[in-house]
Structure 1
């Protein structure tokens, strides 16, 4: 039987400066103060903030595979202040002040990730070059203007979101056909696997115990049961994001939606000059079916997007990480954005799942009565958001909350469960088809799609 090579998971795993050696599985029954299920960003940030706040706490992290196996090690490498829920929707939960405060806290979280990584000796290639959203047809340009006007109405100014004309876009990047765009400084490009692997080492240095190859078969108040033994703890945190449906009893908590990526070979200097993005500004355009890209430290373009199908029954399998049709489509989009890449070789193609709650609203919560905590449902905007979630969970558990994070609008709320099958399968895949059709219509006509706007209004965004 062939041995699984972690480097095959993604460009990020392939370019780690370490060999992934599995940590010891849980050796038997263990007593702890806090048990964390999942060694991705959410679980490891929670453990790190717990250890930094109260070094006396006994914290145990359990991971089915290895730290950074899932989305935390495979994502697009955007540490951004993007949040999948609109400010209007946030305000319905926590008032106007609460909505604005959450967005401001996310703005501060972006540089905080870089600062804490540096303090912990984690070289995650953190470069805060901001994020550029480009409009490539009239409908997209109309949405860019509407978004900036919307942010202005909430008190966010030029320093947060700035409209660019075509010439200003060209000063940053050589994306073809730009009619304009919006730039925000609140985003950094990172190497995601370096960050998550570094967090695992950082928590261990602070006394946290990480057990890999340890699957949770039951997560309940006061205990986590595994095939190797039971961890009994006053507090239990579920931090499994897109893998949450694989936890017994949580099949409909979030929908595991797949997002796929490709990466080019390191580009020649003359090609990089035409691509631009010298400050490693992350980029996308304003289409409905999300795309995202970054220029890596070694001069590649790493590029991803949605479009892969949701699989019946919320199934999560390694076979779903690759889809030749979607990967080829992503290569085509990137060549369309940057015609200079027409003869460029692509070296990596990969994917992974992310967690989508029924109302597109991430949450972080802790029940002091049962000791159960949860954070997730980031809809793909999970790098900075997970860092904030971990900090918030640590504050909820320890009671040390000087910034009153527990009062933010996403705290201590729950989304309702997804519908049972086949309704879930029909609904999630219908959204992908709808967004694809809306993008094609807008490209053809230049007019905003009524289908897409009707959908977002229906889900309260």
Structure 2
């Protein structure tokens, strides 16, 4: 790095992602914890979950002493790296939630998630956060007969999804080979690093203290221990998502699986005339291996997907953020979707980061005495983290509300199996997903293995 920055000798946080590089902040780390502290609430992790929790707690009770402890800087994790979908998606399908918690519980959770999209937009407006927020909805394309069958099943009664024919789907997203799809209005596109950095400033205005470059090494009852001192608190909140495995006792709580992204240079108006996304709808399709994309405010395509291999022992090496084989596969998927992309289109940034995956794919939020937690969003945390933050604020303050009665509250996922079984199982599952998509692309028919996959993913 150039040495022109005030944090010379530390990493250049602009290298984390395109979003962080264009966040509008200089990303200078805030001061670290200066020593032992006593607070009312200590929050571990300055991503969306931790900051939303701090925001709503401080708003409800300005007298609370709240400290947020962050290993790097606010937004370093998934909050500054994700695809920029503020959606009403949950880690389980609505049918999966209903099987576990009943239809009424599933409906209540879905309504809360849909309302959450608008709540995030409200706070962005109130706090004046310039994060390119646009609520254009989301389109999921069907590009094979097997995908079309899944689209029709997804848009069943009570789903809230609008089934699209080929013309309607293509009008929203002009990808190749579109047979149909579904659309929901409950999704907004956002520049995620601008949101998390703006949210950090908003909580500081409300009296919350954020200590950066302050890794938490253990969480004994009623405390968070760091190399700089111990923070004692009435309640400690774990909001570490894909980095939870690094905490003592956390290696089998949430598995970190990487999702990788890239962004093109700004594309010409001639491309967008064919590609659509005029309302900045987010887009994906009904393949099994998740892909996702958005049209940025400056007319780039930001595109990513899953499929990166799992690292033995749930470690999170930085090199996994830019696996060239996975990124090449994602680029091929984008070209397949949009063959009219200019031949000389340039990729300006590539990056990635870990998602937090529970063993049963069930996100949760809860409090058990002096310990509270939220996470396991399986990549759908931009919206769900806000709902989690509001729910944690009620739980910590001892309030019984509609939020604290939602079915994900208090859920405890089983622990992942030990290694090497964990690595073997996850690797086999990822391989199955790839083979299913390849088989369906060749035949156009739903593979017999889809039912097995559904069970693995808790659908």
Specify the TM-score bucket, using the shorter chain as the normaliser.
Answer: over 0.9
Q: 1:98 matched to which residue of 2?
A: 105
Unmatched 5+ stretches in structure 2? 2-8
Q: 1:364 matched to which residue of 2?
A: 365
Shift of 1:8: 1.1
- Cα distance in 2 for partners of 1:104, 1:277 equals 26
Q: 1:355 matched to which residue of 2?
A: 356
- Cα distance in 2 for partners of 1:167, 1:90 equals 32
User: How do 1:308-387 and structure 2 match up within 5 A?
Assistant: 308-343=308-343, 344-367=345-368, 370-387=369-386
Q: Size of the alignment, in residue pairs?
A: 451
Partner SS for 1:352: strand
**Contact 2:245/2:314 (CA < 8 Å) preserved in 1?**
yes
TM-score normalised by the chain length of structure 2:
0.96
1:76-113 deviation line (CA, Å, top 9, x unaligned): 00001011213333234432211100001000001110
- Cα distance in 2 for partners of 1:248, 1:67 equals 22
- Cα distance in 1 for partners of 2:165, 2:102 equals 34
**Contact 1:220/1:372 (CA < 8 Å) preserved in 2?**
no
What RMSD in Å do the two structures reach over aligned CA positions?
1.2
Shift of 1:183: 0.5
Partner SS for 1:218: coil
Q: 1:141 matched to which residue of 2?
A: 148
Shift of 1:144: 0.3
Q: 1:204 matched to which residue of 2?
A: 204
Q: 1:22 matched to which residue of 2?
A: 29
Name which of structure 1's ranges 425-434 and 30-39 shifts more when overlaid on structure 2. Answer: 425-434
Partner SS for 1:258: strand
- Cα distance in 1 for partners of 2:24, 2:309 equals 33
- Cα distance in 1 for partners of 2:139, 2:23 equals 27
- Cα distance in 1 for partners of 2:102, 2:236 equals 30
Q: 1:6 matched to which residue of 2?
A: 13
**Contact 1:291/1:305 (CA < 8 Å) preserved in 2?**
yes
**Contact 1:60/1:211 (CA < 8 Å) preserved in 2?**
yes
Shift of 1:61: 0.1
Matched, 1:269 2:276: no
- Cα distance in 1 for partners of 2:412, 2:399 equals 23
Partner SS for 2:404: helix
TM-score normalised by the chain length of structure 1:
0.96
- Cα distance in 2 for partners of 1:216, 1:244 equals 11
Name which of structure 1's ranges 265-274 and 37-46 shifts more when overlaid on structure 2. Answer: 265-274
- Cα distance in 2 for partners of 1:93, 1:409 equals 9
Shift of 1:401: 4.5
- Cα distance in 1 for partners of 2:230, 2:360 equals 34
Q: 1:230 matched to which residue of 2?
A: 230
Shift of 1:435: 0.6
Partner SS for 1:124: coil
Q: 2:181 matched to which residue of 1?
A: 181
**Contact 1:335/1:342 (CA < 8 Å) preserved in 2?**
no
